[in-house]
């Protein structure tokens, strides 16, 4: 196969790629519209029908993935196709919780019959070419289809968010507040212990796989969230400022997420399921609060300047917690459940038991400040300034 050449054209000729793209795209759209009208459907319903015909055991969720439609839009498509007698929805015999979409055999044959004239016409055209030429045409069309698929994915992501490979991007849209809901899905085993005597209890957390989340500061102003991932991809969705990241609870599959958040709207962050490492910088982000449930091995965050009182609440045992805030920002720390080593600015404590409260200078009168709660014990806590 020869190497690709830029601008494949002769004197006075239009580039072959743009010519084919324009001709095939416009004619394909016109063909789909005419075919859909012939079958009493719209173009979206016809495309969905073709996808259902090409793949077996399709669920409504799978059809949403294939078409790029929302779940609500897919429901509308299936309602129309079912009413027209093309499909029926029925429980999966192997899993009654799932719904499968089945084509009605007679209507599937009708679709195939309607498509046959174009298939015969294109087959006839190919007989004019030698085998090597047909192979080149097939190669080009396969690559062109891949290019169209990639560009379609990019346009959809730019419009409403989604994955491109291992990267997730969502546009800001009209969101005025941000809420990140992160479920690590990490398999964890805990044991109760009493590290400082009977009055101070804690838990040891053992993980069968690592789960990591790191913050990478702000996104460009037109993006709501930008994420890259390692290991299994989560189910990630963004809607009106709310971003959900949910991992399946899969043993022995470590996972890592790296997220940047929009800098123009305030964000609250909620993490559940526990996490091995929570790290990174929220500098440049309008950070409005964090709640971590399920504990963590290592939490190390750089915090931005707060607006008002910003709460940070950590439940579940933590091995180490390190928070850095801008100079001059007051902070209050409330601990419960036993702390081996604690450092708040220049103040140091060891073997802290029971419920205690510590505050930096000026906390009581400050308008912009942090309130940190560690509710189930920790080995080491350090809170200082950058």
State pLDDT tens for residues 224-241.
999 999 999 999 999 999
Both 254 and 314 in one domain: the answer is yes
| Domain end point (choices 99, 128, 157) | 128
| Domain end point (choices 69, 101, 128) | 128
**Mean pLDDT throughout 264-269?**
98
Q: What does the pLDDT read at residue 203?
A: 47
For residue 59, pLDDT over 70 is answered with yes
Residue 141 falls inside a structural domain: no
Residue 212 falls inside a structural domain: yes
Query: What spatial distance separates the first Cα and last Cα of the chain, rounded to whole Å?
Result: 57
Whole-angstrom Cα distance, residue 303 to residue 283? 6
Both 335 and 215 in one domain: the answer is yes
List, for residues 92-119, the tens digit of each pLDDT value.
Answer: 998 888 999 999 999 989 988 998 999 9
Residue 135 falls inside a structural domain: no
For residue 44, pLDDT over 80 is answered with yes
Residue 144 falls inside a structural domain: no
pLDDT band at 2 (very low <50, low <70, confident <90, very high): very low
**Mean pLDDT throughout 248-264?**
87
Q: What does the pLDDT read at residue 385?
A: 97
Residue 158 falls inside a structural domain: no
Q: What does the pLDDT read at residue 191?
A: 46
Residue 357 falls inside a structural domain: yes
Q: What is the pTM of this model?
A: 0.74
Both 45 and 110 in one domain: the answer is yes
**Mean pLDDT throughout 52-74?**
89
| Domain end point (choices 72, 101, 128) | 128
For residue 211, pLDDT over 70 is answered with yes
Whole-angstrom Cα distance, residue 323 to residue 103? 57
What sections of the chain are H helices per DSSP? 16-38, 43-54, 60-67, 71-83, 105-126, 131-160
Both 171 and 119 in one domain: the answer is no
- Here the CATH number for the domain that contains residue 39 is 1.10.10.10
Both 221 and 341 in one domain: the answer is yes
Both 261 and 345 in one domain: the answer is yes
CA 285 and chain centroid, separation:
19
Domain limits for position 361: 167-385
Q: What does the pLDDT read at residue 3?
A: 47
Both 202 and 264 in one domain: the answer is yes
Both 280 and 353 in one domain: the answer is yes
* CB 177, CB 264: distance < 8 Å: no
Share of the chain above pLDDT 90, in %: 64
Q: What does the pLDDT read at residue 361?
A: 94
Both 120 and 190 in one domain: the answer is no
Both 329 and 278 in one domain: the answer is yes
Residue 51 falls inside a structural domain: yes
For residue 165, pLDDT over 90 is answered with no
Both 43 and 113 in one domain: the answer is yes
**Mean pLDDT throughout 295-316?**
97
**Mean pLDDT throughout 287-291?**
99
pLDDT band at 11 (very low <50, low <70, confident <90, very high): very low
How are beta strands 296-302 and 275-281 bridged, if at all? parallel
pLDDT higher for 148 or 5? 148
**Mean pLDDT throughout 81-99?**
92
Residue 152 falls inside a structural domain: no
Q: Give the C-alpha distances (Å, rounded to integers) separating 183 from 204, 216, 234, 295.
A: 20, 18, 9, 12
* CB 337, CB 375: distance < 8 Å: yes
Q: What does the pLDDT read at residue 188?
A: 54
Both 354 and 221 in one domain: the answer is yes
For residue 199, pLDDT over 50 is answered with no
**Mean pLDDT throughout 47-62?**
91
- Structurally, the chain folds into a number of domains equal to 2
For residue 6, pLDDT over 70 is answered with no
Whole-angstrom Cα distance, residue 212 to residue 189? 17
Mean pLDDT of the residues in the chain: 88
């Amino acid at each position: 196969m020869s190497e690709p050449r830029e601008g494949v054209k002769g004197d006075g000729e239009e580039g072959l790629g743009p010519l084919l793209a324009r001709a095939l795209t416009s004619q394909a759209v016109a063909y789909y519209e005419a075919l859909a009208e012939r079958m009493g459907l719209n173009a979206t319903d016809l495309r969905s029908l073709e996808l259902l015909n090409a793949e077996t055991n399709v669920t409504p969720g799978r059809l949403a993935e294939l078409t790029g439609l929302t779940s609500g839009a897919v429901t509308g498509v299936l309602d129309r196709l079912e009413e027209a007698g093309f499909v029926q929805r029925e429980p999966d015999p192997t899993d009654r919780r799932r719904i499968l979409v089945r084509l009605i055999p007679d209507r599937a044959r009708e679709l195939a019959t309607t498509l046959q004239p174009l298939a015969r016409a294109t087959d006839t055209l190919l007989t004019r070419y030698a085998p090597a030429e047909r192979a080149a045409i097939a190669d080009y069309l396969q690559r062109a289809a891949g290019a169209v698929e990639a560009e379609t994915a990019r346009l959809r992501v730019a419009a409403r968010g989604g994955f491109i490979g291992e990267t997730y991007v969502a546009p800001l849209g009209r969101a005025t507040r941000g809420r990140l809901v992160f479920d690590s899905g990490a398999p964890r085993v805990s044991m109760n212990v009493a590290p400082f005597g009977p009055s101070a209890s804690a838990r040891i957390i053992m993980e069968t796989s690592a789960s990591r989340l790191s913050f990478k500061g702000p996104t460009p102003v037109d993006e709501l969230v930008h994420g890259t991932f390692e290991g299994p991809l989560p189910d990630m969705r963004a809607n009106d400022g709310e971003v959900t990241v949910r991992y399946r609870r899969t043993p022995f599959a470590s996972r890592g997420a790296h997220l940047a958040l929009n800098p123009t709207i305030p964000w609250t962050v909620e993490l559940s399921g526990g996490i091995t490492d929570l790290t990174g910088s929220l500098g440049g982000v309008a950070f409005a609060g964090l709640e971590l449930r399920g504990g963590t091995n290592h939490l190390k965050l750089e915090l931005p300047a707060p607006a008002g009182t910003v709460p940070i609440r950590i439940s579940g045992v933590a091995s180490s917690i390190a928070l850095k805030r801008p100079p001059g920002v007051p902070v209050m720390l409330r601990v419960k459940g036993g702390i081996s080593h604690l450092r708040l600015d220049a103040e140091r404590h060891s073997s802290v038991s029971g419920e205690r409260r510590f505050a930096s200078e000026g906390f009581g009168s400050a308008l912009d400040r942090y309130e940190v709660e560690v509710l189930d014990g920790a080995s080491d806590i350090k809170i200082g300034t950058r």
